[in-house]
Structure 1
């Protein structure tokens, strides 16, 4: 137990109970892998627990920043080892109807982006951050965020043209 008899333990536990599902979704969008997402979230929560007494105000932005920065560390370490699937290796089944099928198609397409591309899209379009906020969060230049985001959207359009209505910028 990180907190011992500290009353912060109850606050932390309540935060985890109330926000774990949303944080887990973000971790999944960042990693594209359920197991990596779980590892990423656990590591972020462990870091947050260690710093809990220093977190002022609402802790969720702090924990989300840990998710993003830890994910960046992971993709920087693996950047040369990971290569996305070519478009011809992707599933080319005809699009099915329904929200679940669209979500699965989007997840499959996102999984074929590099971690850097996926992270930028998650921050920009799922977290609604501006280009400047995304650049600041990731420690990148705004131009890098713009060009990487554009390439990622172009790649999504090529991989999943049936998702065009979801992939509008």
Structure 2
């Protein structure tokens, strides 16, 4: 049992940050929701760790758990948090903060499934087949949803930053 715990701690240390980044984009830039999603996914992975540790790619399994947890949570619509009009101020502004904030806002406007497809396909750089496996949908659905979601993002971002999309 102690070896399992150590192996899980090592796994979390190696893959926790990547899971959090994925959760952050899935959550539309909501840091706290991303932390909750990551923690919930890691708890689920820990509960099944003896089985998970024997699969070929435990990181891919954890990412599948994270994505399905996100989709499931969005279906429940039990969130008591209220959205605010403006994001809280941050002490450090980076050069592309306007692009990042606009992208996160536009990701949040996509449907849950479209957002999951875009994040997994283009942020996590998974293949169409891998995304289809994670979301339990066909490869054709992944391609269709990717195309539709990217079209919406291009339109929305092109209105705000046309020079970035042309150059």
Find 1:141's aligned residue among 135, 138, 142.
138
* Cα deviation, residue 131, structure 1: 2.1
Gaps of 5+ in 1: 79-88, 90-96
Report 1:3-152 matches (<5 A).
6-32=2-28, 33-54=30-51, 55-56=53-54, 58-78=57-77, 98-152=95-149
* Root mean square deviation of aligned Cα: 2.8
What is the alpha-carbon distance in structure 1 between the residues aligned to residue 46 and residue 164 of structure 2?
40
What is the alpha-carbon distance in structure 1 between the residues aligned to residue 105 and residue 59 of structure 2?
27
Aligned residues: 148
Cα 1:130–1:18 shift into 2, 3 Å: closer
What is the alpha-carbon distance in structure 2 between the residues aligned to residue 17 and residue 38 of structure 1?
15
Please say if 1:154 is aligned against 2:151.
Answer: yes
Please give the TM-score of this superposition, normalised by the length of structure 2: 0.74
User: How big is each residue's C-alpha offset from its partner over 1:83-102, in whole Å with a ceiling of 9 and x where there is no partner?
Assistant: xxxxxx9xxxxxxx823333
Gaps of 5+ in 2: 78-84, 86-93
Please give the TM-score of this superposition, normalised by the length of structure 1: 0.74
Between 1:146-155 and 1:115-124, the stretch displaced more is 146-155
The answer to whether the Cα contact below 8 Å between 1:105 and 1:160 also exists between their aligned partners in 2 is yes
The answer to whether the Cα contact below 8 Å between 1:27 and 1:67 also exists between their aligned partners in 2 is yes
